[in-house]
Amino acid sequence: MKNCHRPAILLFVLACLLAARTLLPAYAQANPIATIPPTNTPRPTPTTPATPTPLVPIAVRLCSDCTRVRLRASPGTAGDVLLFLDSTSEMLVTGRSDDDQWVQVIVVNQDNTVGWLAAQYIRYPNQAPVDSATLDAFPVVGETVNLTPSPTSAVGIPGFVSGISPHLSAIYSKGQALGNHPNGLSRIGDSITASPYFLTPLGRGSFQLGEYGDLAGVIGYFSTSFANASMAAAAGWTADKVLNAAYANRAYCGVDTPLLCEYKRSRPAVAIIMFGTNDSGSGSTGAFEDNMRQIIQTSLDLGVIPVLSTIPPKTMGEAQAARVTVFNQSIRALAQQYAIPLIDYYATMVNLPNQGMSSDGLHPSVPPDGGTCIFTPVNLQYGYTMRNLTTLQALDVIWRLYLA
């Protein structure tokens, strides 16, 4: 009996299945199992990073007026000096520093010595500037480390010199971009600065360094400037004169002031500036300070490092001595305000015989042999010799730290 009912049951199930099929949506009938078709997304092919093609070293020279430029063992002023180079040096650039301020070179005509130069000094052999894009194509192979100056640094900053800071490097770089000569030096001031006893003997080779032999480097660096006559220094001048075109040498300066004329003609990197001896005779400190600010700002605008100097004592009575003190306070304050170097010439003079002054009480004294750049203990008892030494010592610090 059980087997008699099996066909009927099978027919009943088949009928149910057919009925259910008619109730399904059309898409389900066509696709009994509905699925989302796979997306054929191409799989990325692994790539190997491109290896930069090493740049072929380029031949360079130094700028035509560059002398005694230091080749260093590493980029930055903290690097040891390996050689002093000049415009005859033949070099190949092979790399650069992380800040693009230094280039690694091979000095071909110096036994292929490898070292670092400040990038601002290099030129193509035809003296065309090397563009930054070309230098940027070289690999970075060194990190710049600059020497931070302090009174206890290895360089040694004399106590009478202040205002030595990294700010000077920015001034210098600006001047180089404007076309200033890296080893150019100008003198700005009155008769004490215009005098042939000040710096001029250094340019003529009339010096003896004695125990100050370490100054030979800075003398060599600025040697072409020491004997140059300045358009911005003359006897009897007060600070306003250098800002007045009426006092300029028309044949050379045209309508420019003496200060602008000197800077345009000499294109210096550094200027030694000393006014105040005549200003302090009867002038006001307010007017003096205003004029000095113009001199300082003009220097900074033209990328010239202004090195101020206090004025020497006056041995002409207490009233004038007191005015020197007041004016020197103004000079020190200006140097501090602008964060620029100051040579405290007054401080180095007061302990010399007659405070380092001549019999007129107004000008520094000169040794009997006239050797104001002969640095013997005897000659250093005289005012002009002391000024030459202290100026060189200040320039030496600036040169070693910031003129690279």
List, for residues 34-59, the tens digit of each pLDDT value.
Answer: 444 555 555 555 555 554 445 689 99
Question: Which pLDDT belongs to residue 64?
Answer: 80
Distance CA 203, CA 184 (A): 12
For residue 12, CA distances in Å to 3, 23, 121, 259 come to 15, 17, 104, 119
Let me know if domain 58-142 sits in CATH 2.30.30.40: yes
CATH architecture of 161-402: 3-Layer(aba) Sandwich (3.40)
Q: Looking at the predicted structure, is the pLDDT value of residue 3 above 60?
A: no
Read off the DSSP letter of residue 208: B
Q: Looking at the predicted structure, is the pLDDT value of residue 8 above 60?
A: no
Q: What is the mean pLDDT of the chain?
A: 87
Question: Which pLDDT belongs to residue 32?
Answer: 43
Q: Looking at the predicted structure, is the pLDDT value of residue 293 above 60?
A: yes
For residue range 266-280, list pLDDT tens digits in order.
Answer: 999 999 999 999 999
Torsion angles phi and psi, residue 260, rounded to 5: -65, -40
Give the H/E segment covering residue 194. helix 191-194
Nearest CA among 72, 66, 45 for reference residue 401? 72
Asked if 253 and 262 touch (Cβ cutoff 8 Å), the reply is no
Same fold, 58-142 and 161-402: no
Asked if 281 and 195 touch (Cβ cutoff 8 Å), the reply is no
Overall average pLDDT of the 173-184 stretch: 94
For residue 35, CA distances in Å to 21, 27, 38, 39 come to 19, 11, 9, 12
Q: Which of 52-66, 68-82, 136-150, 299-313 has the highest mean pLDDT?
A: 299-313
What share of the chain has pLDDT > 70, as a percent?
A: 84
pLDDT band, very low/low/confident/very high, at 13 (cuts 50, 70, 90): very low
The lowest-confidence range among 116-130, 148-162, 272-286 is 148-162
Torsion angles phi and psi, residue 241, rounded to 5: -65, -35
Overall average pLDDT of the 97-101 stretch: 90
Asked if 177 and 264 touch (Cβ cutoff 8 Å), the reply is no
Boundaries of every domain in the chain: 58-142, 161-402
Read off the DSSP letter of residue 54: P
Sign of CA dihedral 291, 295, 300, 305: negative
pLDDT band, very low/low/confident/very high, at 200 (cuts 50, 70, 90): very high
Sign of CA dihedral 308, 313, 316, 317: positive
Token pair 């004592």 in the structure block, residue = 313
For residue range 234-263, list pLDDT tens digits in order.
Answer: 999 999 999 999 999 999 999 999 999 999
pLDDT band, very low/low/confident/very high, at 368 (cuts 50, 70, 90): very high
- Determine the residue type at 66: C
Distance CA 323, CA 342 (A): 19
> For residue 303, is it left (φ>0), alpha (ψ between -120 and 50) or beta?
left
